[in-house]
Chains A and B, each alone.
Chain A
């Protein structure tokens, strides 16, 4: 399983990198390579050119500033996962990242790379859709900011054009009083999720839910915000009946058809169960007591 031939470029500046991409319609960005290189070794991906962005200036680092966490293109999963500022600013991130493959993959793979790969069962796209993150793409025509909701279009398909490079991704800091939860069902530890659900919410002074954010991966051709479920929970006391209603309301969001691992009906079952459990956990954490 050896990769096919490609031309290799290692630009030092963003402009150079964009020019290389624009010069060849089959050129691809190489960042961590943890998704791309296996595909090349299987020869299901045969880019004619790899533009290795690891030496491009200005693409490293994580910053927490003004309520936003800024993640540059070459930030490895593990760097984000272990960053103490990020842990304080948004504890959901480290919790979700513990489910991303395995540590050696997280040491090399990049957050932005996972977003651009856009596997509908992956955790990073789910995270960005859940929290309404944004991505910044730079191309020959300039720079643009793309909200996560618009970025993920379909199976392995994003709004990024072939000659654009996503240079950074942004997530919000989690409000002090917000509760959060994430879990997924996988076959083995570290596998892609059969179904994964993330939840963030706040409770008002009378203990009613507000600003409920719920999203799922593995149920469609891209991560999905469960708007109907959110509507069924906002303003309620999150009683069993409310959780049941949310679970029921989310069933239609499952559009992924049967495959060798699971059926639609199984995904709906798991989705409902995870929503119930995770909303309860998020509610427990809400109020600020669970933050480090």
Chain B
């Protein structure tokens, strides 16, 4: 008998291979004769390039070619603006190799291709560039002032985009309110820092006219479309493969990075495969970053604590270019009211150019910043009104009977109106409080204070719009000989376990073990309709597409089996890789059904022979394939979500602060989250836990330190503090499953969930811990020992 695997903690199919070191990451793929690329990157944030001399580099032994902007023909162009939006005045994207000016430390100026990376780096160091330094303004607020040094000469005040969204009647709400709370909060810049840096390899087959590109990307289909267009090749002559990818977290969904265009170009010109394996320093100064926002948020409330309206005006640092448009700021804007009713919202952002690495989504994509703002504001409101902070949240939560709850006037990243569809916010809050001991914590806190220890309780709630469109597809084919089930979709995986999660969906429909479902994705040759893996959408969009295809395949199997077993279709059940007549021991294996469904003339092996003993092959009068019938057991279906489906959660933690050493230790962290039906709770927990660790990084450790001159001072893992295991506390994850009403599987996305609320949890916990010492507020993350020290000194401790 088979057990239902949807919802089960199934171990991953892919693990043995990865554990044995048999993964195939881009740099693992053997490419005979490959040449290696290295870049000369700008050491200066803003400068005019007066002169470039590559002659010494070109003559260096082992160098095949050196390219500047003058050597790349039609690729010398501003790279595509991926997501246009009217709020952007004069959107700027970078060129593959700088022409005339550089705009950030790390910008690519020249590419060297050589016999190995060591040699390429030697040669790059020999390129002579004459720079004329230009002044820079690194401060976000200063950058907007008249007279501030401009990143782009034709973008006044460095204002990249300005956008206001209004929901309800905020002016009216503010007029009616009895109490106002206003705070300013700041989140500092971080970076995804995946363990595998970016990587691109390309091989041009001049005989077949085919370009193959291996790219550690989250968007192989989109990359393929772009490459075909830019190189003027037919799409079916361009194959993009995202093989095993060592973490993405959003950084790898951007296209194009300069190397993604230049490496294929070099491969085509040099008639040799070319590889570019980004190193860690380059990842810090060349690959996308995110997080810097400064919010001035104001809540208008009644004395009961009910929040009538919200105004938020924030600055968003977009770096030197804006290729991904306003997505991060837009997601932040539409998440600003969190899980609260707050029916009247005015949210404005100004995206500001700074001479730094460009900002594109990093896990969370603006939600952490918005959550930090609203949650810190709610805490402040609670304090000012003398209402318990748990209670004030309860009073403002959207209740279950209010769903679906629209926020007219707020358009999410998919261009559709924000509508929170389902959830049990109050229950999640109760669970979080209870998980940390409820009222008992206060007693614990008192006892600790008597011993000179400072414990605090941190708490925050979040919502997460997930599963946005436009669509994804699923293709399923049952192999005619082995009966194994092959599944394709247009995503790629960077560790999310698609190979197992999608297998579980199919296994239940088709009656096989998940281990016998082979998921092949990340290859445009396998499937090439789709978008990418990002924004917590894989399970929702591809999952449902694959489910639809599985339902279709199931129906085909049942029909074929009924025919072969000469039984009524209602008496057939599928399990253990076969179709059975219920209550009997008559069955036909899935492999045989698949073989039989492909009318053969030649029985080339036993399986093919065995198939002919059943009905279809012999019992027909007329064509072997009926009108509208296809050979094989196969289906392709698509799922296009009607709107995003909103997941949510409540996080809480007990922190201990040492006011003398100014250190913060998280003793225990709990997370209550709801992503609807869970396909594989083990994988869901893994995603949440990974997100929490990144959230802890952002709360206490991770800050990219740009100096006043634009240099990045901590461009290494030594100085940019990604947490080790020692920095992560015990984490307890509790699930609520409120099925999404928006899709057949009832799932919501969860990829980004873990990192959203952590900053607010930690800041509120530290405040709670230090309350006995004075009214210190923490509204800036990461919260560093130095910040703690200065705050304590300011109140005389």
Contact = CB atoms under 8 A, between A and B. Distances in A.
A38 to B, nearest CB: 8
A270 B701 contact: no
A7 interface: no
Given A187-B701, A188-B721, A190-B724, A266 B662 contact: yes
A265 B661 contact: no
B442 interface: no
Contact of A187 (B122, B705, B713, B721): B721
A262 B122 CA distance: 36
B125 A266 contact: no
B786 A1 contact: no
Contacts of B790: 263, 265-266
B660 A188 contact: no
Contact of A188 (B122, B125, B727): B727
Interface string A247-271: 0000000000000111101100110
Contacts of B718: 38
B660 A261 contact: no
Contact of A266 (B121, B281, B789): B789
A189 B726 contact: yes
Nearest to B121: A2
Contacts of A43: 121, 125
Interface of B: 117-118, 121-122, 125, 279-281, 660-663, 701, 705, 713-714, 716, 718-719, 721, 723-724, 726-727, 784-786, 789-790, 793
Given A185-B663, A270-B660, A270-B661, A262 B785 contact: yes
B723 A188 contact: yes
Given A1-B280, A263-B790, A269-B662, A194 B726 contact: no
Interface hub of A189, A194, A260, A273 (most chain B Cβ within 10 A): A260
Interface in A49-100: none
A8 interface: no
A189 B724 CA distance: 8
B47 to A, nearest CB: 21
Interface string A182-196: 000101111100100
B724 A269 contact: no
Nearest to A259: B713
Contact of B789 (A1, A2, A265): A265
Contact of A1 (B279, B663, B713): B279
Contacts of B117: 2
B125 A269 contact: no
A216 to B, nearest CB: 14
A273 B721 contact: no
B726 A269 contact: no
Given A2-B121, A4-B122, A263 B786 contact: yes
Contacts of B281: 1, 42
B117 to A, nearest CB: 5
Q: Which 10 A-B pairs have the closest CB atoms?
A: A189-B726, A273-B660, A2-B118, A266-B789, A1-B279, A260-B705, A2-B121, A185-B661, A266-B786, A262-B786
A5 B60 CA distance: 14
A253 to B, nearest CB: 18
Contacts of B785: 185, 187, 194, 261-262, 266
Interface of A: 1-5, 38, 42-43, 185, 187-191, 194, 260-263, 265-266, 269-270, 272-274
A3 B716 CA distance: 16
Contacts of A188: 701, 721, 723-724, 726-727
A101 to B, nearest CB: 10
5 contacts: A42-B716, A187-B721, A261-B786, A266-B789, A270-B662
Interface hub of A43, A187, A263 (most chain B Cβ within 10 A): A187
Given A42-B281, A188-B701, A273 B661 contact: yes
A109 B314 CA distance: 48
A272 B661 CA distance: 9
Interface hub of B122, B727, B789 (most chain A Cβ within 10 A): B789
Nearest to B119: A2
Given A189-B727, A261-B785, 14 more contacts: A2-B118, A2-B121, A42-B281, A43-B121, A188-B701, A188-B727, A190-B726, A260-B713, A262-B786, A266-B790, A269-B660, A269-B789, A270-B661, A274-B661
Contacts of B786: 261-263, 266
Contacts of B713: 260
Nearest to A3: B118
Contacts of A263: 786, 789-790
Nearest to B797: A269
Contacts of B784: 261
B408 to A, nearest CB: 45
A202 B719 CA distance: 38
Contacts of B701: 187-188
B553 to A, nearest CB: 49
Contacts of A265: 789-790, 793
A273 B793 CA distance: 14
Contacts of B280: 1
Contacts of B663: 185
B596 to A, nearest CB: 57
A261 B713 CA distance: 11
Contacts of B125: 43
A276 B117 CA distance: 52
A258 to B, nearest CB: 9
A188 B721 CA distance: 7
A43 B282 CA distance: 14
A240 to B, nearest CB: 13
A5 B125 CA distance: 13
A152 to B, nearest CB: 22
Contacts of A185: 661, 663, 785
B124 to A, nearest CB: 10
Contacts of B118: 2-3
A104 to B, nearest CB: 13
B742 to A, nearest CB: 41
Contacts of B726: 188-190
A194 B784 CA distance: 12
Contacts of A272: 660
A244 B701 CA distance: 31
A187 B720 CA distance: 10
Nearest to B700: A187
Contacts of B705: 260
Contacts of A270: 660-662
Contacts of A42: 281, 716
B38 to A, nearest CB: 9
Contacts of B661: 185, 270, 273-274
A71 B784 CA distance: 38
B119 to A, nearest CB: 9
Contacts of A191: 721
A194 B661 CA distance: 11
A181 B661 CA distance: 17
Contacts of B723: 188
A50 to B, nearest CB: 15
Nearest to B117: A2
Contacts of B789: 263, 265-266, 269
A251 to B, nearest CB: 14
A187 B722 CA distance: 10
Interface hub of B661, B716, B723, B784 (most chain A Cβ within 10 A): B661
Contacts of B121: 1-2, 43
B21 to A, nearest CB: 17
Nearest to A269: B789
A188 B793 CA distance: 23
A272 B727 CA distance: 25
A38 B716 CA distance: 11
Nearest to B703: A260
Contacts of A1: 121, 279-281
A291 to B, nearest CB: 28
Nearest to A277: B660
A43 B793 CA distance: 41
B368 to A, nearest CB: 21
Nearest to B705: A260
